[in-house]
Amino acid sequence: MKTRAAVAVAAGKPLEIMEVNLEGPREGEVLVEIKATGICHTDDFTLSGADPEGIFPAILGHEGAGVVVDVGPGVTSVRKGDHVIPLYTPECRQCPSCLSRKTNLCTAIRATQGQGLMPDGTSRFSVGGERLFHYMGCSTFSNFTVLPEIAVAKVHPDAPFDKICYIGCGVTTGIGAVINTAKVEIGSTAIVFGLGGIGLNVIQGLRLAGADMIIGVDINNAKKEWGERFGMTHFVNPKEVEGELVPYLIDLTKRGADTIGGADYTFDCTGNVTVMRQALESAHRGWGESIIIGVAGAGEEISTRPFQLVTGRVWKGTAFGGARGRTDVPKIVDWYMEGKIEIDPMITHTLTLDEINKGFDLMRQGESIRSVVVF
């Protein structure tokens, strides 16, 4: 079949909107009509050429929602008409990782996904006889895409596509980091570094988990109002702090008889390795945990003195908020439908596929929280 898509033809070039060929689903695969897709930093990281694993030409996009329109042989868990969210972290429920119950990083299709191919080692997309690569197993910048059955989550049929697409990455990553990775308890203190599309979801996850003190840290004062909108209790702009940031934050988190200070949980949502160190060191001595969510540039390294860990601080990272996609994503969609979490105000821009490059510009300029393309 033919479908309209935004094609990343080469690194550093704008996406080109064109009609491409898409082959139907093979064994264990589903054909999905994408109704809406968010634009996320990783798409830009790859498009810019900074991602050493980026492959071109490719159809980017990993934050979508749509409808199953066809299924290949052997597909049992979804059928035509089901509403689904594509998963860049699949959940096969059979590989050693899924069975371990210790990680969400399913390994069933990992090798081919990283090569921009379907699990059988081929691509379903082409244009003018030339192969186009898939991206993060999703390729949601196409009106139709083919996905492995294990890489779709079946969700509530009444949920609006132009909002729940954000659950395909940002919402689940932020809320999941709080619930699954940090396992934040009621009454905890927390610091969130970077109040963008991820950090704001960490904040609403902390509110959901019942955290007492939710400190937001951002170099952009415009983020104060955004943070407060989702449950932030204190705002700190590092540029306006006199002296060092870490001692300032440790002092701010001293409560009652505790004269040591430091937060129970801290989250890096910037991808900046200097901030990652600040986040670790502002965690409480003896038990504070710091969760790295931000993705740093290729080749960057983190550092701290071993003393920071010897004295009980814990450094952790999270991918897709530790969520098991087929199990957890439908639950998050239900939370949205029940009003337990908010999404609508974070979607600051809605665009057509033809305007997708404008969405990238808004993200680069820091003018959007999330831009969503509606097909």
One DSSP character per residue, 96-112 reads HHHHHSS-S---TTHHH
Q: Among 3, 266, 270, 371, which residue sits at the site for ligand NAD (rule: CB under 6 A)? A: 270
Query: Catalytic pick from 37, 42, 181, 266?
Result: 42
Cis peptide before 57 (omega within 30 of 0): yes
Q: Reply yes or no on whether 269 is catalytic.
A: no
Q: CB of residue 291 vs Zn ion: minimum separation in angstroms?
A: 16
CB nearer Zn ion, residue 40 or residue 152: 40
| DSSP letter assigned to residue 179 | I
> Given candidates 6, 15, 36, 40, which one binds ligand 022 under the rule CB under 6 A?
40
Q: Which of 32, 195, 213, 332 binds ligand NAD (CB under 6 A)?
A: 195
CA atoms within 13 A on the CB side of 237: 9
Name which of 32, 290, 333 is nearest 172 in CA terms. Answer: 333
Contact status: 318 vs ligand NAD (CB under 6 A): yes
Q: If binding is defined by CB under 6 A, does position 215 make contact with ligand NAD?
A: no
CA distance 300 to 149: 35
Q: Nearest approach, Cβ of 139 to Zn ion (angstroms)?
A: 14
Indicate whether 31 belongs to the interface with ligand 022 (CB under 6 A).
no
How is residue 344 written in tokens?
A: 């609508």
- Counting Cα atoms < 13 Å in the Cβ hemisphere of 310 gives 4
Does residue 189 touch ligand 022 according to CB under 6 A? no
Q: Which of 320, 336, 360, 375 binds ligand NAD (CB under 6 A)?
A: 320
Task: Assess whether 41 carries a catalytic annotation.
Answer: yes
Instruction: Give yes or no: 92 in active site.
Output: yes
266 binds ligand NAD (CB under 6 A): no
**Closest distance of CB 250 from ligand 022, Å:** 29
37 binds, among ligand 022, ligand NAD, Zn ion, none (CB under 5 to 8 A by kind): none
Question: In the numeric block, which tokens belong to residue 250?
Answer: 């440790």
Minimum CB separation of residue 269 from Zn ion in Å reads 12
Exposure string of 358-375, with b = 16+ CB inside 10 Å and e = fewer, is bbbebbeeeebbbbbbeb
371 binds ligand NAD (CB under 6 A): no
Stretch touching ligand 022 by CB under 6 A, among 77-85, 108-116, 242-250, 253-261:
108-116
Looking at residue 308, its amino acid is: Q
Task: Name the active-site residue from 46, 62, 181, 277.
Answer: 62
**Which listed residue (29, 63, 91, 289) is catalytic?**
63
Identify whether 63 is a catalytic site residue.
yes
Q: Is residue 179 within 8 Å of residue 205, measured between CB atoms? A: yes
Under rule CB under 6 A, residue 64 binds ligand NAD: no
Which stretch in 25-33, 105-113, 201-209, 261-269 sits in contact with ligand 022 by CB under 6 A? 105-113
Whether 146 and 117 have beta carbons less than 8 Å apart is answered as: no
Residue number with CB closer to ligand NAD (174 or 262): 174
328 binds ligand NAD (CB under 6 A): no
Within 8 A by CB and 6+ apart from 258, the residues are none
Active-site option among 4, 26, 110, 207: 110
Radius of gyration of the CA atoms of the chain, in A: 21
Binding residue for ligand 022 (CB under 6 A) from 6, 8, 151, 169? 169
| Shortest distance in whole angstroms from residue 40 CB to Zn ion | 3
Q: How far is the CB of 284 from ligand 022 (least distance, A)?
A: 26
- When CB distances are held under 5 to 8 angstroms depending on the partner's kind, the choice from ligand 022, ligand NAD, Zn ion, none that residue 195 binds is ligand NAD
Catalytic residue IDs: 40-42, 62-63, 92, 95, 98, 106, 110, 169, 370
Interface ranges with ligand 022 (CB under 6 A): 40-42, 88-89, 105, 110, 113-114, 136-137, 169, 295, 319-320
